[in-house]
Structure 1
């Protein structure tokens, strides 16, 4: 009997909520955890989140926050950094950099015809061939067909609204008050760090489990 596959949305340093959710999930030996990127920044303790991820042998995908930190770590070019990155950068330990450095962009479960990713994909291009910049940052698609953030193109359609599969895509990155379920995708970033909830999606049973944020950590 194979275990469950459990995807968890953006944790953003919320180690207590991550711990609460893990307790609720009551993990069995064969269960596999897939963290959808952005383990770090904004919340109370990024290092404790990485410790928990490592302890539970999670597959942690690369998010845009990890991508920025890695870019600065390699280049020391401050243009890569945002305000909340600086605090995290100063606290990350050598083992954390090693962990972040080996994060894959995607995780594919062929038997379930499902791909896990942080941000999403541009429709019309094979998902395996899209850049780290695209798949970690995309939220909407502008009139020129370019991947953009919601804030930069507020009237543009969400990539998921234009994604007609296959595969089915489970993603984070775009915080919403509720999960965003469409025929070929499911968004599970429910804005824990902003006072929302931390969401897990369990396969093959297709069940959602959530814990409420203990407080609002980030505006």
Structure 2
């Protein structure tokens, strides 16, 4: 049985990813956990996605991965800083899309969970898994319709959802975009900066207690301004901002050994 190696937001940084795997002496027996945002902004999104699909990594989807799917299904336009053109024009794009559609919003294995942005404190683990599963089945059943209604900041709280589409949107936002919450656990999705600069009356999502469920460790990425580390003893933050030149980080989930490599300049889309 190999190691479980959790890796932060790759965002198309193909050369940095290969360097990190070399530094960790990664073997075919090792299980790679990718915390979402596999693609976009770096120069090697196509290579990263092909590797992840062929390697059959354990991955969750991040907001950039969902954006790629929305672009493919003509539910969103490309942004100026996107680096997805080569992916969308690839001859194997349908295979990549099918693989992405099969990836979840949350992974729970043994006493560990992983999601791109984190765990909304209002969720019990069974409730989160049920809603995330419903959301994934919805995008698999009718991806064009799903991605057309995915975008938006409402509802900010699950209790405000009045339809399946709104519950799915909340699950996507909480699992892939969340950083800070207001005191009543409402998502504040406008904030993207450093924790010390958070709006008055809000706190990081991990500053609120989650229901007890016996889970030992949670793994997330997404918040580059937070950096890699342990914001709580039971949480691992992995986004060290590789695409911003701050390197790529991994953690051995079983030995608690950290690994870090500098960003390869070839990955930066200047």
Same fold (TM over 0.5): yes
Q: What is the distance in 1 between the residues matched to 2:223 and 2:209?
A: 15
Give per-residue Cα distances to partners, 1:166-219, cap 9 Å, x unaligned.
Answer: 532110000047423012211110000000010111021011101111238268
Q: Is the 8 A contact 1:119 1:173 kept in 2?
A: yes
TM-score (norm 1): 0.86
Match of 1:137 among 177, 194, 198: 177
Gaps of 5+ in 2: 133-170
> 2:253 corresponds to which residue?
203
CA distance in 2, matches of 1:28, 1:40: 23
Residues 115-167 of structure 1 show CA distances to partners (whole Å, capped at 9, x for unaligned) of 01111121132232461232011111124422233339932211122245653
Q: Which has the larger radius of gyration?
A: 2
Q: Per-residue CA shift, 1:52-71, capped at 9, x if unaligned?
A: 22343212211111112223
| TM-superposed deviation, 1:103 | 1.3
Tell me the TM-score normalized by structure 2: 0.71
- The reply on whether 1:154 has 2:198 as its aligned counterpart is yes
Give per-residue Cα distances to partners, 1:68-118, cap 9 Å, x unaligned: 2223333x233x6533347446445222212212111121121xx110111
Preserved contact between residue 41 and residue 83 of structure 2 (Cα < 8 Å): no
Call closer, same or farther: CA 1:19–1:163 in 2, change over 3 Å: farther
Structure 1 unmatched runs, 5+: none
Write out aligned runs for 1:22-37 (5 A).
22-37=21-36
Listed one character per residue, the Cα deviations across residues 31-51 of structure 1 (whole Å, up to 9, x for unaligned) are 101111101110112001112
- Root-mean-square deviation (CA, aligned residues, Å) is 2.4
Contact 2:43–2:269, Cα closer than 8 Å, also in 1: no
Q: Which has the higher contact order (CA 8 A, sep 6+)?
A: 2
Instruction: Count residues with an aligned counterpart.
Output: 214
Contact kept in structure 2, 1:9 and 1:190, CA below 8 Å: yes
Are the equivalent residues in 2 in contact too, given 1:194–1:218 (CA < 8 A)? no
Contact 1:10 1:192 (C-alpha < 8 Å) held by counterparts: yes
